[in-house]
Structures are given as structure tokens and as C-alpha cells.
Amino acid sequence: MMIMKTKIIAKKMNTILSRIEYVINMSFDGATPSIKDIRQNLVSYLGVEPDRLVIKNIEQRYGSRELKINCYVYEKIEVLKQLEPVYVLKRNGLLNSEPA
């Protein structure tokens, strides 16, 4: 199991868009973790429902074992689906790949 250390760098409440915006530093051992592993770690660290968490951006410097993650936690799933683009929802596993 990969060890990941997580630390909140910035936290901003955006009341207009009904979300909390986080900038998080995550350090890890071994290979770069997948988005799925990062999501699971963030859900447990932040104590939120997986359906309300959206990872917007992940940055990693070459050769570094640290990630800088920008993520949002929405108050309501309906608002999340209205504001976030389809590709972000698919990338985060919140939308099926085939539209109905």
C-alpha cells in the first residue's frame, strides 16, 4: 500500500458557487498515484462524500514525490453537475462515459 501524506495549503469558501475550494499538497512513496487513489485519499482526509468532490488539477514537478492538487467540495451534487464541464465529471468518475 502506498503511503500518502496530505496537507491543506489553502481553503476558501465560495458561497456564490456553494463550494469549498482547496489547494492540497500530497507527498507519496513509490510510483505516482492514480486519480482514483488520490480521490480515495482526499475523501477520507477531508471527510466528504465522494460524489461531492471534484479534482480540478494535479501538478507534479519532474522527479518529485509531491503533488499539488486543486479540488472543490460542493454542498449539493446538483450544483456540481451544473457548473463542472462534462470532461471533468468523466475524469473524476462522476459521469458514465456514454451519454444516455
Is 74 buried (19+), middle (13-18) or exposed (0-12) by CB count in 10 A?
A: buried
Domains of the chain by residue range = 4-91
39-68 pLDDT, tens digit per residue, is 999 999 999 999 999 999 999 999 889 999
CATH topology of domain 4-91: Alpha-Beta Plaits (3.30.70)
CA distance 62 to 89: 27
Confidence of residue 17 (pLDDT cuts 50, 70, 90): very high
